[in-house]
Copies of this chain bind each other. A is one copy, B any other.
Amino acid sequence: MCRLLGYLGSPLQLDQLLYKPERSLVVQSYLPQEMTSGVVNADGLGIGWYHSTQDVNPFTYKNTLPIWNDINLPELSRYVESDCVLAYVRSATPGQALDMGNCQPFRRDRILFIHNGFIERFRQTLYRPIRDRLSDEIYQSIHGTTDSEHIFALLVNEVQRVADASLEKALSQTLIQLKQLAQSYQVNFSANVIISDGHSLVASRYASGSSAPTLYWLRDDPNYPNAVLVASEPLFAGNWHSCPTNSLLVVKEDLEVCINQF
């Protein structure tokens, strides 16, 4: 289990997102409220953001320390302004190393990706079958050992396979593939994912054979006008909506929110 956060909207200084909320990711790291497994999210953190005026690849910042012990993140959060941000605090699945290489967000060109969930007994089940499906180039680009990064690799595979596939379509196909694989190997998994290309956010609340972790979204909060937030847990009291289980949430550049059931 990890705690995810996505933001799309008017440019804001990151500390408004990461430190100011009453139940920020910092609080969620030591005192989460809606974990379906695990107790704390103290196995590192990661932030990804897009430049608000330049058309360049997104930026990431990662650390393996608990977020509350990171002395650089407050500085960075005071400096960076962005209109599209992904962030997470990690609760490592036992057996998956703390290494930086396992720290999200994962990035490929313009795409950022964060995942909360697990594949049951990943190493013994889907680890090799997933890798065997990947193109050489994607196979070689994997730098860690988590189930999360392998789901990301499937997504990149899908993005490359289908020219001009939308993010939404790519994530949807990835989860369908994953479900097929999981069924043939008779394993459960859950995959709450948030991805972005800097212009839109796509998020899934999805599970097969296990309960799906929670996922919420909120639009046009008085403190975050002209913006949509997506989060594992509400960051503050507000008009948060729970995403339905096994659904895909799409936030376009105009901040319209669509929810599609699988």
Determine the chain B residues whose CB is within 8 A of the CB of A39 once the complex forms. Answer: 30-31
Interface band, chain A:
35 or more
- Nearest B-chain residue to A82, judged by Cβ: B79
Is A164 an interface position by the 8 A CB rule?
no
Determine if B59 and A79 form an interchain contact, defined as CB atoms under 8 angstroms apart.
yes
**A176 contacts B by Cβ under 8 Å:** no
Min Cβ gap A218→B in Å is: 26
> Which B residue sits closest to A95, measured CB to CB?
B143
Residue of B nearest to A141 (CB): B123
A92: chain B residues within 8 A (beta carbon)? 69
Closest residue of B by beta carbon distance from A121? B140
Check A30–B51 contact: CB distance below 8 A. Answer: no
Query: Contacts of A51 on B, CB cut-off 8 Å?
Result: 79
**A128 within 8 Å of B (CB atoms):** yes
Residues of B within 8 A of A61 (CB): 72, 75-76
Does A111 reach chain B (CB closer than 8 Å)? Answer: no
Copies in the complex: 4
Q: Which of A22-76 contact B (CB under 8 A)?
A: 30-31, 39-40, 42-43, 51, 56, 59-66, 69, 71-72, 75-76
CA distance A43 to B69 in the complex (A): 8
Determine whether the beta carbon of A143 is less than 8 Å from that of B76.
Answer: no
A60 near B75 with CB under 8 A, answer yes
Given contacts A76-B76, A140-B123, A140-B128, contact A98 B100 (CB under 8 A): yes
Bound CA–CA A99/B42 (angstroms)? 17
Q: Of the candidates B100, B128, B143, which one forms a contact with A139 in the assembled complex, judged by CB atoms under 8 Å apart?
A: B128
**Contact partner of A42 among B40, B101, B143, CB < 8 A?**
B40
Cα A61 to Cα B136 with chains together (Å): 34
* A99→B71 CA distance, assembly (Å): 11
- A37 smallest CB distance to B (angstroms): 13
For window 127-164 of A, CB contacts with B under 8 Å fall at: 127-128, 131, 136, 139-140, 142-145
Question: Is B42 within 8 A of A30, CB to CB?
Answer: yes
Q: How far is the CB of A187 from chain B (nearest CB, A)?
A: 14
- Whole-angstrom distance between the alpha carbons of A62 and B63 in the complex? 12
A–B complex contacts, Cβ < 8 Å, 10 sampled: A31-B39, A42-B66, A43-B69, A51-B79, A56-B78, A61-B72, A65-B65, A71-B100, A124-B140, A128-B136
